[in-house]
Amino acid sequence: MAKTKKQIIEDLKLIDIIVEVLDARTPKSSQNPDVREYCKNKKKIIILNKSDLADENITTKWIEYYKKNNIPCIKVEANTGKGLKDVIKQIKIEGKEIKEKYLKSGRTGRSIKVMVLGIPNVGKSTIINNLAKRNVAEVGNKPGITKTKQWIKIDKEIELMDTPGMLWPRLNDESIAEHLAFVNTIGENAIDNEQISYDLLKYLVENYKEKIEKRYDIKIENGEEIIDIRDRIALKKGAILSGGRINEQKISDMILTDFRTGKIGRISIEKP
Ligand SMILES: Nc1nc2c(ncn2[C@@H]2O[C@H](COP(=O)(O)OP(=O)(O)OP(=O)(O)O)[C@@H](O)[C@H]2O)c(=O)[nH]1
Ligand SMILES: [Mg+2]
């Protein structure tokens, strides 16, 4: 079951370090406004996950941005495990101070307790499973199954709470909802795929024109209407109904899927 906010606040009493997982393509929109409150007396590390799908230059800028704000930030590819060693390293750096505090109060041998937090679909379970080196959390688009809380020992110093804190994004802001729909954080039924696909194509033509040209083997004219570009892609891809009309549903889904699976290339939606 997804944890409620109340449950997360209760669980956080046991936690020393919060690992907030963001989608590297949309670090701003995938942030949850409550985390600031949760982190008041805790150390925080940011993971920019799915960095294999994001624009490397922009990810570097985000890391610099967080560094400037004194927040350690690490780029990760959770499905391959790339970057997670650096996360462990950072947990140990942050944990050093905490351990010293424990030692002073006579609590020797206490491990550093970590919780992974983030909005749906950013890769929390994949990260936990990879750190645990076994499947403890369910991966997919559904919330995990209920089970009793247990701690996963990462090594002799670090323990991880086995269920992640799932937070809700701030969907009342239109641009946040749109960006999260691009990266598929909002459930499929909640959105109008044709509209989202159109908005995404517009963003891609404005920011990554060459990648669209290359993927769909077209040349985009200056000032060409997005609808015309979409229709030309549909013709190339054979997304045509009998009678020659454009199959709008099919081409919309195709563009969204191509983007989400990285087929158009590495793309970031938000810059710092
Ligand atoms: N390309 C890519 N895909 C990833 C990465 N990490 C996770 N995924 C995929 O993203 C999807 C969601 O991953 P989960 O680990 O289930 O995400 P979650 O945050 O636990 O999601 P909820 O439990 O719904 O809150 C899965 O299809 C993963 O395979 C990554 O670094 N790169
Ligand atoms: Mg999960």
Contact, 152 vs 131, CB < 8 A?
yes
Burial class (CB in 10 A: 0-12, 13-18, 19+), 52: middle
Q: Which ligand is nearest to the CA of 261?
A: 1
Structure tokens that stand for 125 in this block: 């379970």
User: Do 82 and 147 belong together in one domain?
Assistant: yes
224 residue type, one letter: E
Nearest atom in ligand 1 to the alpha carbon of residue 144 is 23
Q: Ligand 1: residues within 6 Å at CB?
A: 49-50, 52-53, 77-79, 118, 120-126, 139-141, 143-144, 164, 166
What pLDDT sits at residue 36? 82
What pLDDT sits at residue 183? 94
158-161 vs 151-153, strand pairing mode: antiparallel
Q: Which ligand is nearest to the CA of 82?
A: 1
Q: What is the CATH number of the domain that holds 204?
A: 1.10.1580.10
User: Do 110 and 15 belong together in one domain?
Assistant: yes
User: Do 28 and 159 belong together in one domain?
Assistant: yes
What pLDDT sits at residue 143? 43
Say whether 245 sits in a helix, a strand or coil: coil
Cα 142 to Cα 138: distance, rounded to the nearest angstrom: 8
Measured CA distances, 258 to 53, 100, 197, 252, 267 (Å): 11, 49, 11, 10, 11
Encode pLDDT of 168-195 as tens digits: 888 888 899 999 999 988 766 657 899 9
Indicate whether 178 belongs to any domain: no
User: Do 213 and 158 belong together in one domain?
Assistant: no
83 residue type, one letter: G
Indicate whether 271 belongs to any domain: no
In the chain, the number of structural domains is 2
Burial class (CB in 10 A: 0-12, 13-18, 19+), 228: exposed
What pLDDT sits at residue 215? 98
| 261 phi and psi angles, rounded to 5 deg | -95, 5
The parent domain of residue 45 ranges over: 5-166
User: Do 124 and 236 belong together in one domain?
Assistant: no
What pLDDT sits at residue 82? 97
User: Do 148 and 89 belong together in one domain?
Assistant: yes
Q: What is the CATH number of the domain that holds 28?
A: 3.40.50.300
Cα 81 to Cα 215: distance, rounded to the nearest angstrom: 28
Query: Which residue stretches of the chain have pLDDT < 50?
Result: 1, 141-146
Q: What angle do CA 48, 53, 58 make, to 5 degrees?
A: 60
Q: Which ligand is nearest to the CA of 129?
A: 1
User: Do 18 and 108 belong together in one domain?
Assistant: yes
Mutate to test the pocket of ligand 1, among 139, 146, 263 (most ligand atoms within 8 A of CB): 139
